[in-house]
Structure 1
Amino acid sequence: MPTEKKWIIAPEPETTKIEELSQAININSVLSKILINRDITSFSEAKSYFRPSIEDCHDPFLMQDMSTAVKRLTKAIDNEEAILVYGDYDVDGSTSVSMMYSFLKNYTKNLHYYIPDRYLEGYGISKKGIDFAEDKNCSLIISLDCGIKANEQVKYANSKNIDFIICDHHNPGQKIPEAVAVLDPKRQDCRYPFKELSGCGVGFKLIQGFCIERKIPEHHAFELLDLVAISIAADIVAVTGENRTLAFYGLEKINFNPRPGIKALLQASGLKEKITISNLVFQLGPRINAAGRIDHAHLAVRLLTAIHEDEALIIADDVSNKNNSRKDFDQNITSEALSIIGDDTELLAASSTVLYNKNWHKGVIGIVASRCIEQHYRPTIIMTESNGKATGSARSVDGFDLYGAIESCKEYLEQFGGHKHAAGLTLPIENIPAFSAAFEQVVKNSITEDQLTAKVHIDSYIEIDQITEKFYTILSQMDPFGPGNMQPVFAAKDLKILGEPLILKEKHLKLTVKNKNGNQKITAIGFGMAEYKALIMNSNDFELAFTIQENHFNGVKSLQLYLKDIRIE
């Protein structure tokens, strides 16, 4: 039987508010309801939402330590000091390094970049990276998407007379590193208005601040927003406030004037239509990530900083091949992990999943954790061996503070970091049983039954006849979507199936439906939902939850439902 999900229907706003907004911006009541539930209730708010302005970006100097950071960077450039740009090996880190390196090379020739090896060094600032800076005579390191907890590493750099500017967006520890400047909107003493920037976004604010200080036209900074948009999408940060503005203009650049590396990636991905946040999450992001997962993230930086299209196409092809290898690892390890859970009655009954296998590929354990949650909905940690230690990636379920749960078990850990929804950790292999038991106990004592139930958040019920091209045109303008501004999910009832549903590739469901009293029919696709065929064929009453997307096939465009769930009454 399919896993039952709880449907959460958005509240119905006051009728007068729906009517007022519908008249003010000339849209139907379904769209007005969605906007009102996203706190958009007037013409001016709708205008800001549908047409974000780059002027909505906050003053970078509101960020704690920004003035100091800009002065130190300016000094380094004026004195021709060697600078090292240091970033993490995931998409956020790779885009951050590519962005900062691409920008600074216009102002200094004495520039290097460094990304730690996922397998030899692990996450964050490494002493090996600092030694690299020393070998290159660098007196300044700009770290991106990492460093907020690198107290010992910064001390090590200080002992070598190497300064640090840290640009991070993760939660700080109890003590801020003794760097020249620490830019992180999540610092308790930081008054920056928007707290949810990506690591690349924090680095962008440093570039923006530098432009203001040096009176460089800010369009030089805005040219880099394509990379910021990819980081926002891939790091699953909130697509609200300033992030939505940055993503909006970043997508514009990707669609109308992509840099050679992104253009080559689009070609390798087979993407030809308008690029959305969803494309960045599911097509471009995994390819960029694959470089660091399967080989080394330097490859991703080479791609994203490439100047010539011929070079970019060669690298993009290599990156795509690595992504194919990543998919193979992902599928095989996910299958192994699910088998372990299915064969263990204790694991099946647990409130969490913690698995370790020394032979699993470190590059895909985060993906495997997410895949396991799709089948067994609970906080999940997947671990493997790296450099004689157990290293793991953790993923959470809706509403549960994963970072807090891991922090409660820190006595067993050597290192951990992340946020409420995802985290990474390192521990001695011999500590795995004790940590697993402690983590399970914390989760069991604090997670609610509701948090252990997968949910489908539905914005509105809709009639199939209401799904028109005009409706979709307005709906698509709500993009960029993401946390805080998710793609609207609709539900429909009183449906009739036309013909017999099809099973595609033995696991996907395709059907054509209409309202029982309606005229318009529409195709629906349910990925991995083949087991629902018999259930809906034998039911007189069922409901669909879905998003609406445009399908392109043989040059023909049509609207299609992408199913999130099927509820049998």
Structure 2
Amino acid sequence: MKNIEVVGLRIKHALENNEVITFSGDPDLDGVTSLVILYKYLKNFTDNLNYVCNERSEGHTIDKLIKNIPEDTKLFIALDSSSNDTESMMHLTERGIDCLIVDHHTITNENPFATIVNPQQVDCGYPNKNACGGLLTFKLCQVLDDLMKVSHSIELSDLPGFSLMADMMSMMEMENRYYAKLSLRGLRHEGLKQLFEAMNSDVKNLTSTDFLYGASPAVTAATRADNIKLAIDFMMCDKANSETKGYVKELIKLNENRKAVQAEALEAMKTGLCMTDKVIIVFDPTVGRGRNGLVAQEIAKKYNRPAIVLGFGDNEDTYSGSFRGLDDFSMLDLLKSCENVVYAAGHDGAGGVGVSITHLELLRLELNSKLRDFVPDETLYYDLEFSADSVSENLINYLTEFYRYSGNNFKPGTFLVKDLFISDKKLMGKTSNTVKIDCGKLQLMKFKTDEEYYDQVPVFTEVEAVGSLNMNVWTQYRPKKKVIKTCQLFIEDYREIN
């Protein structure tokens, strides 16, 4: 990997000379994990460590952090960001601070003021171009192990996989699958253990889905609420104690609030969406920068087309927000090709975007023109089909194992289940947003829905449904203790059979 040994040698020099080291992490789970990996690793050698971070609403560049970097800093390390922050690195260099960058985002310009580790560099021969900040930081720690003749990095080997999954890096990449396995099968992190348990996941049998729809959104809820300190403090947890339990409770509370705000925003937007547009563009400053991406993701999923959710920008002339795309094409590349976009950054399917207020309508027209041949695909795809009678605990466990390390480009299995007969239904959840449909030994579960959906579900009717299979396992303590197991289908949709 280009420059990784050079960066390792510079850090080794700083440790040997007792220099003050300051680093930053991007305000998302990958950035926080990168920061925690390096901080915990370097604590084995020195106490001369500082870190500075943006809140999510402040953006992903470090220009606003420069004033917070201690004057006695000799080495600054930017993690999971800053490959293109030329001006910021120039200012730090002028202060006599050496700058290192460990990043995985697309490089758009030269940055001669820092030594960069980033597999996206044109002349970097590292084959995994789908690495994330956390994995690259861990790789740096492995290099430091070799240089310092120690083996401290193995203590942190459970963290890179979570970074990869959270940042939606490709799970078709074999190295990424390997580290995902280390995370799910070899979990050491006490805070994450408690968080998984609090969210009713089986810590001894974790899947990517447990993380992506459970622990990951909970930790990210802190960064989205501009409470990055909570996310960092939680990820720093080494012990199972009352402090860790407190962090877990706080994260779950923030995540529940995030769900409520997200649902309210989606409901409020329903009447204002233009279904004739190729890209759905929404301006709603009440959503907040930390949640724009989540709402855009829900819109894109619901309406099968890319979505942009905007709020007010950093100046009075600009709107800024987040975009979410589809698998059909790179939304990032599309936005970068648009004349009416101020900036676009991030990944192919997810990132940030800015547009001049006076050019918003022009951008809508430009996107419609560029995507004039694009037709939103309303088709519901599935991998295999089964009769309801053939669905069993053994089958579900087999499928769970096959799809255990799923994510971007290797999605969890989706199945069509036939010969279902609905005998009963129930509306559940604190906000009545979950529907349980009884079909004999198989339960159908529909999440993130409403009473209108519940009312439309027929009873005493034969249906077939598409969704993901899951075993619900819980312990009943009264009248006597026993383990209850239920076969479930988390449905995307169903249809009646006449």
Match of 2:321 among 368, 372, 392: 392
Q: Is 2:479 the counterpart of 1:543?
A: no
Q: Is 2:199 the counterpart of 1:269?
A: yes
Match of 2:62 among 125, 135, 143: 125
Inter-CA distance 321–524: structure 2 relative to 1 (3 Å threshold): closer
Counterpart residue number, 1:371: 298
Distance (whole Å) between structure 1 residues aligned to residue 150 and residue 371 of structure 2: 51
Query: Secondary structure of the equivalent of 1:233?
Result: helix
Counterpart residue number, 1:233: 165
Matching of residues 333-348 of structure 1 within 5 Å: 333-341=265-273, 347-348=274-275
Inter-CA distance 436–203: structure 2 relative to 1 (3 Å threshold): farther
Counterpart residue number, 1:511: 437
Distance (whole Å) between structure 2 residues aligned to residue 71 and residue 253 of structure 1: 30
Give the partner amino acid of 1:153: S
Distance (whole Å) between structure 1 residues aligned to residue 454 and residue 248 of structure 2: 39
Distance (whole Å) between structure 1 residues aligned to residue 292 and residue 118 of structure 2: 27
Give the partner amino acid of 1:294: A
Question: 1:537: how far off?
Answer: 6.0
Q: Identical aligned pairs, as a percentage?
A: 24
Q: CA contact under 8 A between 1:168 and 1:184: conserved in structure 2?
A: yes
C-alpha deviations, 1:30-82, integer Å up to 9, x for none? xxxxxxxxxxxxxxxxxxxxxxxxxxxxxxxxx11112111111111111111
Q: Is 2:87 the counterpart of 1:152?
A: yes
Question: 1:302: how far off?
Answer: 1.2
Matching of residues 276-425 of structure 1 within 5 Å: 276-308=207-239, 309-341=241-273, 347-388=274-315, 389-409=318-338, 412-413=341-342, 415-425=343-353
Distance (whole Å) between structure 2 residues aligned to residue 375 and residue 166 of structure 1: 38
Inter-CA distance 182–475: structure 2 relative to 1 (3 Å threshold): same
Give the partner amino acid of 2:269: A
Distance (whole Å) between structure 2 residues aligned to residue 380 and residue 116 of structure 1: 25
Inter-CA distance 339–130: structure 2 relative to 1 (3 Å threshold): same
Question: 1:533: how far off?
Answer: 7.3
Inter-CA distance 204–539: structure 2 relative to 1 (3 Å threshold): same
Unaligned runs of 5+ in 1: 1-62, 342-346, 515-520
Match of 2:181 among 224, 236, 248: 248
Give RMSD over aligned pairs.
Answer: 2.6
Q: Is 2:443 the counterpart of 1:523?
A: yes
Give the partner amino acid of 2:84: K
Q: CA contact under 8 A between 1:551 and 1:557: conserved in structure 2?
A: yes
| TM-score computed with the length of structure 2 as normaliser | 0.88
Question: 1:187: how far off?
Answer: 2.1
Q: CA contact under 8 A between 1:139 and 1:163: conserved in structure 2?
A: yes
C-alpha deviations, 1:543-564, integer Å up to 9, x for none? 3222111112433122222212
Unaligned runs of 5+ in 2: 477-482
Distance (whole Å) between structure 2 residues aligned to residue 510 and residue 314 of structure 1: 32
Query: Secondary structure of the equivalent of 1:188?
Result: coil
Counterpart residue number, 1:473: 397
Distance (whole Å) between structure 2 residues aligned to residue 538 and residue 513 of structure 1: 9
Question: 1:424: how far off?
Answer: 0.5
Counterpart residue number, 2:48: 110
Distance (whole Å) between structure 2 residues aligned to residue 197 and residue 79 of structure 1: 31
| Higher-RCO chain (CA-CA 8 Å, sequence separation at least 6) | 1
C-alpha deviations, 1:100-150, integer Å up to 9, x for none? 11111111211111111233x321222x322322x2421222211111221
Distance (whole Å) between structure 1 residues aligned to residue 135 and residue 464 of structure 2: 41
Question: 1:368: how far off?
Answer: 1.1
| TM-score computed with the length of structure 1 as normaliser | 0.78
Counterpart residue number, 1:211: 145
C-alpha deviations, 1:297-319, integer Å up to 9, x for none? 12211111134422222233333
Q: CA contact under 8 A between 1:409 and 1:439: conserved in structure 2?
A: no
Q: Is 2:20 the counterpart of 1:65?
A: no
- Structure with a larger share of its residues in helix: 1
